[in-house]
Structure 1
Amino acid sequence: MSRHDEVGVVPTTEEDSEPSGRADLSVLNLVTTAEARFFKQQVSVLEDLGVSSTTVAVPDERVTREGALAGRSAVDYFRFLPRAIRESFGEYDLVHANYGLTAPAAVLQPNLPVVISLWGSDLYGRFGPLSKLCARLADATIVMSDGMATELGGTPYVIPHGIDLDRFQPADQQAAQEDLGWDPGRKHVLFPYAKGKSVKNAPLAERVVAAARERVGEPIELQFVTGVPHERMSVYMNAADALLLTSDREGSPNSVKEAMACNLPVIATDVGDVRQRLRGVQHSFVAHDDADLVDCLVSVLDADTDSNGRAVIAELRIEQMGERLLSVYREVLDG
């Protein structure tokens, strides 16, 4: 299978091509980790629009004696709170809390208008009530999907994370597999998450692939990929034959949108906005249950063909996301 023939310029409308002018705004960003790739993309695209950014992050994750990440504790967030509030006395136009656990610091500071972005697990997980409370106190709240908007209530803005369509685009599969050292005689199913991240449900992915092996004529390799530099992820997307998402819950998973931008078929559980994103995408499926996941994966691997995801995902290019975020900032400041 090859995806290199699908490369092309994403069409833009006349409205998209009109410059909006520079914003000349200064934003204090609060975030759990400043290294989250979609957050870094967000900062970069807004800077291109004239939004200067200062970021205050929760202290880094701690490492146990065994070398595993212990995660952030309540103490880390208490340490983060006074620092964020002190920083709010600087020369900023507003504060943007990225992820629900940074929202308390945003709504407790007394100086700046507040924008909150909820990413998914902060709304659906055990901290959902806290996120909902902070959203009621904010000047504007942004969510990733229509489902999240329904869960939150009120009138949040729905702005999914955008995709860098220059970085994620179709390329030759054989060359990508050679780059990664993947066996071209096998089918490769991409699972771009850590095995130990429980919400991603890696055991289900393993069961699905194991069942598919009994029905597909070629060997199947389940490729767990994590900790890879973001600029290299497109190589994995183009080397794979399918992306498998078995998450218990999501907001608007970037991996699905990035796979679509590479015309990589997607098989996914019905979480977040995945069903909405895959509407009209060929050779990609949202499964109803575990058995359906197996059937859909087998169908995709047997078909051995690309999807048309890139044409569908073009509306979520990262530049459009930046424009929409900037419009929220302006509405908050004008209000």
Structure 2
Amino acid sequence: MRVLNLVPNAQSRFFKQQVDVLADRGVSETTLTVPGRREYDDGDTTARTPLDYARFVPSVLKHSFGDYDLVHANYGLTAPHAVVQPNLPVVLSLWGTDLMGEYGWVSKLCARFADAVVVMSPAMAAELDGDCRVIPHGVNLDRFRPEPQAAARAALDWDADARHVLFPYPRERTVKDYPRADQVVDRVRDRIDDVALHTPTGVPHEEMPTYMNAADALLVTSRREGSPNAVKEALACNLPVVSTDVGDVATRLDGVTHSRVCETDGELVDALATVLRAGERSNGREAAREVSVERTSQRLHDCYRDVLAGR
């Protein structure tokens, strides 16, 4: 099977992971990237202009006449390029901000013309009129796994006696709402001494398991998400999670100990304080097995096969 991938950022870690695992299943591919500068993994488009996307059209049209079985548009703003080419069946994957954000109307319109639509969560599926498959990005359980906390803290030179909260997003990302996370932790400090908030950015992904194992809790205050990988990676490391009710977080945390989905700032403060006082790990790894990269990639491969069988 040969796939033509369209993506805003070919260096996105979950896109690269998807390509690598599908390659092990015999799927070869060519990746076309939208021109222009990209910074973030989740398809944020602030560094791109309409002209950049217009410049992408000729390349997609040219490649659509090549020896491919289907075209896979990864992220909604690559969808118009996929559905206008006349030769290949289309699989469209929506990542979250492309459906729930400013340009969601583009994704919804193009989804009507795709042969299959993949979304990250049931909440995203509810935004679409037609049928779609819920297949979140998977987590590498070999990389993200429980390790001794003391050793992880020593590796990061973190205070062994403090309580450590992890916010693994750039502070400037408005949708992640760092100011809210900072305020929540500040209010928790009124109840608990020595609480540190860590916002590692620019850290190689292979080093993130150390942060997950060193921390006492993952804090997510996002305004919207699809299926946040940080939550799934935390689960794989048995790191407790306190999060706003975004994307599929409620589904992922169902039955997970020392973790909670919250609506208000007060609930976030109460939940985080409770988790930090308990000082215990979660049972999240069992829940993470459902979204292992092997399982999610198998489901995506099945989607490819069904599209081709339907043609």
- Sort the TM-score into its range (normalised by shorter chain): over 0.9
What SS is found at the alignment partner of 2:297? helix
- 2:17 is matched with 41
1:260 aligns with 2:235: yes
- 1:13 is matched with none
Does the CA-based 8 Å contact 2:9-2:38 persist in structure 1?
A: no
For 2:189 and 2:36, how far apart are their aligned partners in 1? 40
Structure 1 residues 270 and 334: alpha-carbon distance in aligned structure 2, compared to 1, 3 A threshold: same
Structure 2 stretches of 5 or more lacking a match? 40-44
1:326 aligns with 2:301: yes
Question: AA paired with 1:192?
Answer: P
After TM superposition, list the pairs within 5 Å mapping 1:239-278 onto structure 2: 239-278=214-253
Does the CA-based 8 Å contact 1:266-1:285 persist in structure 2?
A: yes
Structure 1 stretches of 5 or more lacking a match? 1-24, 64-68
1:154 aligns with 2:101: no
Structure 1 residues 62 and 229: alpha-carbon distance in aligned structure 2, compared to 1, 3 A threshold: closer
For 2:48 and 2:231, how far apart are their aligned partners in 1? 27
Q: Which moved more, 1:227-236 or 1:27-36?
A: 227-236
What SS is found at the alignment partner of 1:215? coil
- 1:185 is matched with 161
1:78 aligns with 2:60: no
- 2:75 is matched with 99
Question: AA paired with 1:104?
Answer: P
**Count of aligned residue pairs for this structure pair:** 305
Structure 1 residues 33 and 88: alpha-carbon distance in aligned structure 2, compared to 1, 3 A threshold: same
Q: CA deviation at 1:185?
A: 2.4
- 2:208 is matched with 233
1:312 aligns with 2:284: no
Does the CA-based 8 Å contact 2:164-2:197 persist in structure 1?
A: yes
For 1:253 and 1:96, how far apart are their aligned partners in 2? 21
After superposition, the C-alpha distances for 1:238-297 in whole angstroms (9 at most, x for unaligned) are: 011100000000000000000000000000000000001000000000012111000000
After TM superposition, list the pairs within 5 Å mapping 1:200-215 onto structure 2: 200-215=176-191
Superposition TM-score, scaled by structure 2 size: 0.96
What SS is found at the alignment partner of 1:162? coil
1:56 aligns with 2:32: yes
Q: Which runs of 4+ in 1 moved over 4 A?
A: none
Identity %: 59
Question: AA paired with 2:169?
Answer: Y
Does the CA-based 8 Å contact 1:192-1:255 persist in structure 2?
A: yes
For 1:60 and 1:192, how far apart are their aligned partners in 2? 25
For 2:125 and 2:154, how far apart are their aligned partners in 1? 43
Which of 112, 117, 120 does residue 144 from structure 1 map onto? 120
For 2:295 and 2:161, how far apart are their aligned partners in 1? 40
What SS is found at the alignment partner of 2:164? strand
Superposition TM-score, scaled by structure 1 size: 0.89
Task: Calculate the aligned-residue CA RMSD, in Å.
Answer: 1.2
For 2:298 and 2:276, how far apart are their aligned partners in 1? 38
Q: CA deviation at 1:70?
A: 6.3
After superposition, the C-alpha distances for 1:60-109 in whole angstroms (9 at most, x for unaligned) are: 4179xxxxx96111111111122122111111000000000110100011
1:199 aligns with 2:175: yes
Does the CA-based 8 Å contact 2:92-2:116 persist in structure 1?
A: yes
For 2:271 and 2:129, how far apart are their aligned partners in 1? 33
Does the CA-based 8 Å contact 1:33-1:60 persist in structure 2?
A: no
- 1:168 is matched with 144
Does the CA-based 8 Å contact 1:170-1:261 persist in structure 2?
A: yes
For 1:276 and 1:133, how far apart are their aligned partners in 2? 27
- 2:194 is matched with 219
For 2:181 and 2:69, how far apart are their aligned partners in 1? 45
For 1:306 and 1:153, how far apart are their aligned partners in 2? 40
Does the CA-based 8 Å contact 2:6-2:73 persist in structure 1?
A: yes
Does the CA-based 8 Å contact 2:167-2:200 persist in structure 1?
A: yes
For 1:70 and 1:28, how far apart are their aligned partners in 2? 25
